[in-house]
Amino acid sequence: MRRPLLSLLWLAMGTVTAAAQEPAAVDFSQVARILNQYCAGCHNAEEAEGDFSVNSFASLQAGTPQGPVLVPRQPEKSKLLALLSGSQEPAMPPAEEPQPSAEDIALLRSWIAQGAAGPAVGSGLNEPFQPPLLTAAAQEHWYVGAACAVGKSRYATGGLQTVTLRQAENERQVWQNNELSGKVNSLRTSADGRWIVVGGGVAGLSGEVALLDADTGQLRQRFLGHRDAVYCASLSPDGQLLASGGYDHQVLLWDVQTGRQLGEFQGHNGAIYDLDFSPNSELLATASADQTVKLWHLARRIRLDTLGQAEGEQRCVRFSGDGRSLLAAGSDRQIRKWEILGGDQPTIQPLRIARYAHESDILQLAFLDSTRLISTSVDRTVKLWNAEDLSPLGTVAELSDVPVGICLWPASDLPLHVVQLNGRRQSLRLDALATGASPGHASDSANGATIQPADYLPHRPPHSYQEVEPNSPFRLATDVELPAIVEGTIAAAVDGNPDQDLYRFTAQHGIPWIFEVSAGSEASQLDSRIDILDAQGAAVLRTRLQATRESYFTFRGKDSDTSDDFRLHKWEDMELDEYLYANGEVNRLWLYPRGPDSGFKVYPGFGKRYAFFDTTPLAHALGEPVYIVRELPEGEQILPNGLPVFPIYYENDDDAARRLGKHSRLTFTAPADGTYFVRIRDARGFGGPDYDYHLTIRQPAPDFKLTLSPIELALPVGSGREWQVTAQRIDGLQAPIAIELNGLPPGLVATNPLIIEAGQEVALGCIYSLTAQPAGTDRPPASAEDHPAAEATEEADQELGPFEITLTARCEVNGQPLVRQLEQKLSLTLVQRTEVSLRLVDPQDAARELETLTIHPGETVAAKVIVDRNGATGRIGLGQADAGRNLPHGAFVDNIGLNGLLITEEQREREFVITAAAKVAPGRRQFHLRSDTEGNPTTRPVWLQVLPGKP
């Protein structure tokens, strides 16, 4: 009896030993960790290298086109194990990448040997993952990943697996939810404040969106579908839809009530960092690491536009409260503003403003109200902006850590709060913050003297001086009393030290003086250079220019004269009349690039280019950096934006207005009462007896000179001719100049008055003949104001003239009217000649000739030109960039193409569009078109009425 019992005992012990030696069952989640860590980077749904993906258990089973990679219960025949263990080429992961450990390989081998069973729930590798709760020790190193305001006085923060709601006044915890997986990356509240939308998940495993009850913290809905961490999620304002985006490049749309996924917006090639619904819940904007912002139509599930102007990852995007604007920012440190045109069809949304804002990545944008915008950055600053033009209003906080959330409570008196990565909260009061100056504002000093009546001293005759050597040490400088005329010579260098002449003078604060250097004789070899020094011999600061955008020259460089074809990187971000700084030279943008093979025109728009702030025009190389800059008003604190601030001193080499050739001209306004020096040198360091000069120091005398061209016009009946007035502005005069035509007979219509706009130098007028009153008639003269184009008299007279038209110029100088009768007169002779004739008509009704065309700043309107060929058979050109003659500065014909505004041989009409830049001032101005056919006939002048406000 004992033997059978002993046998049973040994049998039982053997069974226990065998069970102990049998490997433990391997769960698929353990395998998923290995595959995600070592394989998913290259073999995923988006980048399935070798046509193999480990994104799901199903794709793992499918293997590759060459066959399966798993053979259940046969590890030795499973290609997946062979590649990971290195027993088969090519070994995976590559040698330079982290390798699985021996324990990982053993675990994978056991799983295959046990049958390679899939997950218990679903078929995804990225099932919701619950990391272990943090220990007390680990919680000492906690951080905040996101924050948002909740209700009227609370705020929520999210960290690892946790969202916490606190009272803003006393930090008292209201509730905490620990049911979340991984890191919380995003927190947004619903429009009604009832819900908190949480975006997060575990990087490399899964993304999660959770909907929490704002009052209780209870988890009401979980949205699963992302293959990687969710970075952003938001409810639509109407509460019906939820959108989410994450590292997996996906933008998913959900039904809030059912939790059902409604669709996916595809097109981004990088992580989705932020998204925002339009106020009417019709549009969705997404910001991505692919350096774009995309605009989607929700009902139609289509992309309306890709906003691709950014040069770095886009981290945040927000609609304005009225939905008419969209703002975005990111790692290129710029805030951009687009106008949203609406509609449900793909449309280009125009970029209105781009502004460098911070010294590092911009993380969040939030509207404080309808007029102010808040931004935060990795540079640990919080800044306030004018929401309309993105002009800076100030730095409102410098933080101790990176900001992760902006908390605003519009319905309460609580100050704005910024929550930082370290969990600290900083409150900000903005009521006392001063309003900053708008960028790009042109100061009077840019163009020369500051013209104010109080700036002038009583007129005094100039004092005459002759240079006396030595005068280059400051203590030996020649004293001069202003105004003054000085005769001198730059002597030859002594011991390699070039000569310089110094003159000491006193000046009162705010009084402008002009320093002009000219050749002392026709034989003078001097290339002068002039600067102003203070009593200690240091350069005197004139102004500061802060860069607001950076760029560089493309296609080719520039010589020191060219005013056309300035091709600049990211020119679309630039606006007319902004200052352009390049290696010490300052210019201004005059006209946008016109077509694909063109660049900016800079001031004055023709001929040799001007410089501003008395800087000197220079040659520039291809690829040389350039900057859009704004002048900082005196005393304004610099708001750092990551771009340089350039000091401009009182110095000049060549006259900025290009009238003195190689000689110098400088306008100086003393920053304070005191003693100053003017220094004259040769720009090359040369000198000698024939380097004589004439220095004039005088007060500004603002004035103008006008030149007409041509002054004799042969005017065919039924056609028009163009004439031009060019102004030479003297001593900083910038006011508009009006030229009135006197003695214009009935039957003629003209651009009258012809106005040279403020800061401009040319105006183009036309005179069009319907019929004409003979010279010496008893009938009174008529002007275009008396007889507008649509009401001009139609009497047919055979008298051909000539008619003499006198001209009167009017301008305001120092608050006083300046009226001048011009010596030049227009002489008109009517001729009987058959030629091409042009008519401007309503594009919707060709029978109605245009009298007035209305437009708003930033708008584009259409018109049509009809041609009576009168036997002409060839092409009829109507101009290139200058196709719209005498349009307001900033308005232009916008569809010229490579061949300009052209009517081909087969055509008799052409529709064209006129665009007014956003900067165009409201007003009324006449324009016309001109043909390149014989005689250059024109249309009748038509009024362009620029209306205030937006279209």
Residue 511: closest CA among 721, 674, 286: 674
Share of the chain above pLDDT 90, in %: 69
φ, ψ at 283 (rounded to 5°): -125, 155
Note the pLDDT of residue 86: 84
Note the pLDDT of residue 205: 80
Residue 939: closest CA among 797, 758, 770: 770
Count Cβ atoms below 10 Å from residue 406 Cβ, excluding itself.
22
Confidence of residue 431 (pLDDT cuts 50, 70, 90): low
DSSP 341-363: --SSS--PPPEEEEEE--SS-EE
Task: State the Cα–Cα distance between residues 337 and 285, nearest whole angstrom.
Answer: 13
Q: Could you please state the CATH topology (level 3) that the domain comprising 703-831 is classified under.
A: Immunoglobulin-like (2.60.40)
Note the pLDDT of residue 128: 46
Task: State the Cα–Cα distance between residues 315 and 366, nearest whole angstrom.
Answer: 13
Residue 248: closest CA among 306, 190, 296, 199: 199
Query: Regarding predicted confidence, which is higher, 729 or 895?
Result: 729
Antiparallel, parallel or unpaired: β 501-507 and 674-682? antiparallel
Instruction: Give the N- to C-terminal CA distance of the chain in Å, as an integer.
Output: 109
Q: Report whether pLDDT(95) > 90.
A: no
pLDDT in tens, 127-141: 444 555 555 444 444
Note the pLDDT of residue 201: 93
Task: State the Cα–Cα distance between residues 106 and 571, nearest whole angstrom.
Answer: 59
DSSP 112-178: HHTT----SSSSBSS----PPPPPHHHHTT----EEEEETTTEEEEE-BS-EEEEETTT--EEEEE-
Token representation of residue 523: 């034989």
Q: Report whether pLDDT(1) > 60.
A: no
Q: Report whether pLDDT(949) > 60.
A: yes
The residues that bridge with 854 in the sheet, in sequence order, are 945
Residues near 166 by beta carbon (within 8 Å), at least 6 away in sequence? 154, 155, 156, 157, 172, 173, 174
Which of 150-159, 170-179, 428-437, 772-781 shows the lowest mean pLDDT across its residues? Answer: 772-781
Query: Regarding predicted confidence, which is higher, 533 or 640?
Result: 533
Residues near 186 by beta carbon (within 8 Å), at least 6 away in sequence? 146, 158, 197, 198, 199, 200, 230, 231, 232, 233
Residues near 97 by beta carbon (within 8 Å), at least 6 away in sequence? 38
Share of the chain above pLDDT 70, in %: 89
Query: Regarding predicted confidence, which is higher, 47 or 434?
Result: 47
pLDDT in tens, 682-695: 999 999 999 999 99
Q: What is the CA radius of gyration of the chain?
A: 38
Note the pLDDT of residue 142: 57
Let me know: does 742 contact 761? Beta carbons within 8 Å.
Answer: no
Query: Regarding predicted confidence, which is higher, 825 or 45?
Result: 825
Task: State the Cα–Cα distance between residues 630 and 628, nearest whole angstrom.
Answer: 7
Mean pLDDT, rounded, for 894-913: 92
Task: State the Cα–Cα distance between residues 662 and 688, nearest whole angstrom.
Answer: 17
Q: Three-class SS of residue 6? A: helix
Mean pLDDT, rounded, for 85-110: 87
Which of 4-13, 830-839, 845-854 shows the lowest mean pLDDT across its residues? Answer: 4-13
Task: State the Cα–Cα distance between residues 549 and 541, nearest whole angstrom.
Answer: 23
Q: Three-class SS of residue 274? A: strand
Mean pLDDT, rounded, for 46-64: 79
Residue 36: closest CA among 75, 93, 91: 93
Mean pLDDT, rounded, for 878-892: 95
Task: State the Cα–Cα distance between residues 618 and 611, nearest whole angstrom.
Answer: 9
Let me know: does 272 contact 286? Beta carbons within 8 Å.
Answer: yes
Query: Regarding predicted confidence, which is higher, 630 or 98?
Result: 630
Q: Report whether pLDDT(200) > 60.
A: yes
Query: Regarding predicted confidence, which is higher, 54 or 268?
Result: 268
Mean pLDDT, rounded, for 532-546: 97
Q: Report whether pLDDT(448) > 60.
A: no
Note the pLDDT of residue 22: 57
- In terms of CATH, what superfamily is 141-266? YVTN repeat-like/Quinoprotein amine dehydrogenase (2.130.10.10)
Note the pLDDT of residue 527: 96
Confidence of residue 757 (pLDDT cuts 50, 70, 90): very high
pLDDT in tens, 904-943: 999 999 999 999 998 999 999 999 999 999 999 999 999 9
DSSP 314-329: EEEEEE-TTSSEEEEE
Task: State the Cα–Cα distance between residues 365 and 383, nearest whole angstrom.
Answer: 10
Which of 93-107, 348-362, 422-436 shows the lowest mean pLDDT across its residues? Answer: 422-436
Let me know: does 196 contact 150? Beta carbons within 8 Å.
Answer: yes
Q: Report whether pLDDT(467) > 90.
A: yes
Q: Report whether pLDDT(123) > 70.
A: no
Note the pLDDT of residue 372: 95
Confidence of residue 442 (pLDDT cuts 50, 70, 90): very low
Q: Report whether pLDDT(788) > 90.
A: no
Query: Regarding predicted confidence, which is higher, 658 or 21?
Result: 658
Note the pLDDT of residue 595: 76
Per CATH, domain 462-540+650-700 is 2.60.40.420: no
CATH assignment of 837-946, among 2.60.40.1180, 1.10.238.10, 2.60.40.3450, 3.30.70.260? 2.60.40.3450
Q: What is the pTM of this model?
A: 0.79
Token representation of residue 534: 């203070």
In eight-state DSSP terms, residue 77 is G
Task: State the Cα–Cα distance between residues 704 and 731, nearest whole angstrom.
Answer: 9
Residue/partner pairs of 102-108 with CB below 8 Å, 24 or more apart: 104/34, 104/38, 105/81, 107/26, 107/30, 107/31, 107/34, 108/31, 108/34, 108/80, 108/81, 108/84
Burial class (CB in 10 A: 0-12, 13-18, 19+), 569: middle
Note the pLDDT of residue 270: 96
Mean pLDDT, rounded, for 271-292: 98
Burial class (CB in 10 A: 0-12, 13-18, 19+), 433: middle
Which of 202-206, 466-470, 755-759 shows the lowest mean pLDDT across its residues? Answer: 202-206
pLDDT in tens, 392-403: 999 999 999 999
Residue 916: closest CA among 948, 869, 873, 942: 948
